[in-house]
């Protein structure tokens, strides 16, 4: 199974530059998720890989083949589309079969693969139906089946789950993940749903404005976002980002917020030695706050409760801090006990803060 | 026991409600406006029905009865003589072989021109709508202009062109001219219809097969049923009812039925045989009527269906 690489890719539509000198490489068997807000160029990048769009400049490699100028059918890829794109006049069987029409396979082999994919995806009873007679989830399976029968090394998915309801989405997410584990294929998957990204990916590329902001494993992206965009984009509720000034004293480095609260960042792995008085932005994850100050603490905030909300197993509480809200993850029963307006001491766990340069927005 | 009584009560209550509605509605009186509309529609209906009645009854009469002059009378004896005469032996000019010559000419004109015009324009429309064609924009613009050029303007150049191709004055001349004149409009119709096919279906097909013809025959053509019916009906009626192209390009040997009919009616010697003429006119009108009768419903569906659902 091949590795896939984009080398110095540029794509323009007329005068609009969508991708500019983009580089990205993934390994054999990786599950790459392209994640980013709407209009950032994810579909464009995927379509360039599929060959449905021509690159303006640059090179695309699959394995050690340069596929930049190959026809889509010759690239050894299979794609699942957001709208499923099933052929409405063909039966499910016909749809799967047409997926193999470019390959000159003998008839028995074609039937064998269709039977295999149908069994794997549990669509055997549907083989003689037309797409119009299927539910959304069933259509989705057929679309995946049409990609599977091709038996290729690289699968492309363009937001395949966004038309499904929440429950089905969770189910299909697991199934796609299971398929990937089973087939060991390379997958490029586009989504703007960060839960999908975090749960399925082995690698995530966070994109914004046609630029890859960060490329790494889900853990790296979540734990060490490389700039303010990634920090704000990943996580729900979003990371709390607050202006602060560094105060560097002997053996102790602190980020001092405008209101005077001091955040101990002595153990922060600075890339460069920090300067006293440097303007920074501190990023505090909602789940790294505690209401009970146990264990080592980096800072304690004395702040009034604004409101709390429960999202199923979790609850979030919002506190007013420096004319803005501070989001915290709390236990649901603790949230129920909070009284709006009441001041509380909340603590931030030591060693969990993120610091970004206020001027460049880059991680320090 | 209690259940039953409850059910009965419920039933009774319902009946009571039904028999005495809470909000009785007044019947609306017929207003002057609707009377005017009804009168207008009746006049329109008469305007079409009376001539039709006369044409149909006259075609079944004998010449003796027609000479008596009672135009609205039913035939004394119903006879198919006039129909037989019109079809088999009515004279146009020097030939007395009836309308059947024109009928078959029309059929031989219709079939090749249908195949030629629809075949070429469906492929062009498909290519323009779904594939990257260089200069597609300007090409569409030219087609658009062509679709609105009146035939009379280009008639003379077309005559010399068909003469150079050695098809002028034959069935083929008429068929080819029909096909060529229809192509711009048909291409635009097909192109607009195919533009509504979701882009992703086309992308999927390109990744699956990549073959222009395979995608056309296996994916696109099966999705074209509606528009094909619309185009077929448009083409059949316009070709069948055409007179000008037939009379210009058909010469003596390639006259379609309409030209045949006109000759039959205008070039007659002696007394005017009204019954023959009426029968001939009806014979000429029957084929499009039959088409409407059989596929008219599909036609309406095709026009209203519009976009293709993925
Ligand atoms: N054919 C086109 N012509 C001009 N601009 C285009 C074209 N297709 C896409 N764009 C632009 O390119 C940019 C990237 O589009 P793209 O479809 O890749 O976004 P995306 O990341 O997939 O967004 P979404 O999450 O909404 O699907 C957008 O700003 C869009 O307006
Ligand atoms: Mg997209």
**In the 8-state DSSP scheme, what is residue B31?**
P
Q: Assess A145–B contact: CB distance below 8 Å, yes or no.
A: no
pLDDT of residue B302: 65
Name the domain boundary from A218, A233, A248. A233
- pLDDT, one tens digit per residue, over A167-195 is 888 888 898 899 899 888 999 999 988 88
Please tell me if the CB atom of residue A59 comes closer than 6 angstroms to any atom of ligand 1: no
CA-closest candidate to residue A242, choices A283, A276, A270, A275: A283
- pLDDT, one tens digit per residue, over A293-319 is 777 888 888 889 998 888 888 899 999
**In the 8-state DSSP scheme, what is residue A363?**
B
Question: In chain A, what percentage of residues exceed pLDDT 70?
Answer: 99
Query: pLDDT at residue B27 above 60?
Result: yes
Residue A362 lies in a domain: no
Name the domain boundary from A168, A198, A233. A233
User: Six-digit token pair at B60?
Assistant: 């079944």
Determine which of B194, B199, B204 to mutate to test the interface with A (most A C-beta atoms within 10 Å).
B204
CB contact under 8 A, A77 and B204: no
Number of folded domains in chain A?
2
Judged by DSSP in three states, B118 sits in: helix
Whether residue A111 is found in the same domain as residue A208: yes
| Residue of higher predicted confidence among B2 and B23 | B23
Element (H, E) at B144: helix B136-147
Residue A363 lies in a domain: no
pLDDT of residue B75: 83
pLDDT of residue A272: 85
| Confidence tier at A51 by pLDDT (50, 70, 90) | very high
Question: In chain A, what percentage of residues exceed pLDDT 90?
Answer: 52
Total residue length of chain B = 310
**Closest residue of chain B to A43, computed from CA coordinates:** B200
Residue A364 lies in a domain: no
CATH classification of B99-308, choosing from 1.10.3720.10, 3.20.20.70, 3.30.9.10, 3.30.70.360? Answer: 1.10.3720.10
Whether residue A97 is found in the same domain as residue A200: yes
Distance CA B240, CA A310 (A): 73
pLDDT of residue A260: 87
Query: Mean of the pLDDT values across residues A111-140?
Result: 90
Query: pLDDT at residue A130 above 80?
Result: yes
Query: Mean of the pLDDT values across residues A56-81?
Result: 91
DSSP A236-300: SSPPEEEEEEEEEETTEEEEEETTS-EEE-TT---SSPPPTT-EEEEEE-GGGEESS--S-EEEE
DSSP B104-141: HHHHHHHHHHHHHHHHHHHHHHHHHHHS--TTHHHHHH
| A81 alpha carbon, closest ligand | 2
Determine which of A71, A89, A157 to mutate to test the interface with B (most B C-beta atoms within 10 Å).
A89
Query: Mean of the pLDDT values across residues A137-165?
Result: 89
| Confidence tier at B307 by pLDDT (50, 70, 90) | very low
pLDDT of residue B268: 61
Query: Mean of the pLDDT values across residues B256-285?
Result: 82
pLDDT of residue B4: 45
Pairing status of strand A4-13 against strand A16-26 = antiparallel
- pLDDT, one tens digit per residue, over A141-153 is 899 999 989 988 8
Q: Mean pLDDT over all residues of chain B?
A: 83
Enumerate residues 6+ apart whose C-beta is below 8 A from A209: A40, A41
Sheet holding A252-257, edge to edge: A262-264, A252-257, A240-249, A279-284, A354-357
pLDDT of residue B13: 45
Enumerate residues 6+ apart whose C-beta is below 8 A from B147: B184, B185, B188
- Residue ranges per structural domain of chain B: 6-79, 99-308
| Residue of higher predicted confidence among B147 and B7 | B147
**In the 8-state DSSP scheme, what is residue A232?**
H
CA-closest candidate to residue B174, choices B223, B247, B91, B116: B247
Distance CA B298, CA B88 (A): 34
- pLDDT, one tens digit per residue, over B9-25 is 444 444 444 555 677 77
Q: Is the dihedral of CA A291, A293, A297, A299 positive or negative?
A: positive
């Amino acid at each position: 199974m091949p590795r896939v690489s984009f080398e110095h890719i540029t794509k323009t539509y007329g005068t609009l530059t969508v991708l500019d000198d983009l580089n990205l490489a993934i390994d054999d068997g990786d599950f790459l998720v392209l994640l980013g807000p709407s209009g950032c160029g994810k579909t464009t990048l995927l379509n360039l890989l599929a060959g449905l769009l021509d690159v303006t400049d640059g090179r695309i490699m699959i394995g050690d083949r340069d596929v930049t100028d190959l026809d889509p059918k010759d690239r050894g890829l299979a794609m699942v589309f957001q709208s499923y794109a099933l052929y409405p006049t063909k039966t499910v069987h016909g749809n799967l079969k047409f997926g193999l029409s470019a390959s000159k396979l003998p008839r028995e082999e074609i039937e064998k693969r269709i039977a295999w994919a149908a069994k794997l995806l549990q669509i055997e009873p549907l083989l003689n139906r037309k797409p119009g007679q299927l539910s959304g989830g069933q259509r989705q399976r057929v679309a995946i089946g049409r990609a599977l029968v091709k038996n290729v090394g690289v699968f492309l998915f363009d937001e395949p789950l966004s038309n499904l309801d929440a429950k089905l989405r969770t189910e299909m997410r697991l199934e796609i993940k299971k398929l990937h584990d089973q087939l060991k294929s390379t997958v490029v998957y586009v989504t703007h749903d960060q839960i999908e990204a975090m749960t399925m990916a082995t690698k995530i590329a966070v994109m914004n404005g046609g630029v890859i902001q960060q490329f790494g494993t889900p853990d790296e992206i979540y734990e060490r976002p490389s700039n303010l965009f990634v920090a704000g984009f990943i996580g729900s509720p979003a990371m709390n980002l607050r202006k602060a000034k560094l105060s560097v004293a002997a053996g102790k480095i602190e980020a001092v917020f405008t209101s005077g609260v001091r955040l101990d960042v002595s153990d922060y792995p600075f890339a460069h030695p920090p300067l006293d008085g440097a303007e920074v932005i501190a990023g505090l994850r909602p789940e790294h706050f505690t209401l009970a100050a146990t264990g080592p603490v980096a800072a304690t905030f004395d702040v009034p409760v604004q409101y709390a909300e429960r999202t199923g197993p979790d609850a979030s509480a919002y506190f007013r801090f420096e004319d803005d809200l501070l989001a915290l993850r709390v236990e649901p029963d603790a949230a129920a006990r909070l009284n709006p307006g009441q001041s509380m001491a909340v603590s931030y766990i030591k060693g969990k803060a993120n610091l970004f340069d206020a001027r460049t927005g880059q991680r320090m | 026991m209690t259940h039953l009584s409850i059910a009965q009560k419920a039933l009774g209550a319902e009946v009571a409600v039904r028999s005495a509605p809470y909000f009785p509605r007044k019947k609306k009186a017929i207003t002057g406006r609707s009377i005017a509309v009804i009168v207008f529609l009746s006049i329109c209906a008469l305007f079409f029905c009376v001539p039709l009645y006369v044409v149909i009854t006259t075609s079944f009469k004998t010449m003796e009865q027609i000479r008596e002059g009672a135009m609205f009378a039913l035939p004394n004896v119903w006879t198919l003589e006039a129909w037989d005469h019109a079809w088999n032996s009515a004279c146009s000019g020097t030939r007395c072989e009836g309308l059947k010559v024109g009928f078959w000419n029309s059929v031989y004109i219709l079939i090749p021109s249908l195949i030629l015009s629809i075949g070429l324009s469906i492929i062009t429309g498909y290519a323009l709508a779904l594939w990257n064609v260089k200069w597609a924009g300007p090409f569409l613009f030219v087609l658009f202009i062509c679709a609105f050029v009146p035939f009379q303007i280009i008639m003379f150049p077309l005559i010399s062109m068909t003469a150079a191709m050695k098809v002028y004055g034959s069935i083929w001349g008429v068929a080819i001219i029909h096909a060529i004149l229809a192509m711009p409009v048909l291409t635009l119709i097909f192109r607009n219809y195919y533009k509504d096919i979701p882009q992703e279906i086309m992308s999927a097909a390109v990744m699956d097969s990549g073959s222009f013809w395979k995608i056309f025959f296996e994916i696109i053509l099966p999705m074209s049923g509606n528009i094909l019916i619309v185009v077929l009906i448009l083409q059949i009626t316009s070709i069948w009812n055409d007179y000008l192209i037939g009379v210009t390009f058909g010469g003596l040997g390639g006259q379609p039925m309409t030209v045949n009919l006109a000759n039959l009616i205008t070039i007659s010697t002696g007394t005017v045989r009204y019954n023959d003429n009426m029968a001939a006119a009806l014979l000429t009108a029957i084929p499009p009527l039959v088409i409407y009768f059989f596929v008219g419903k599909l036609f309406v569906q095709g026009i209203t269906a519009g976009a293709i659902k993925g």
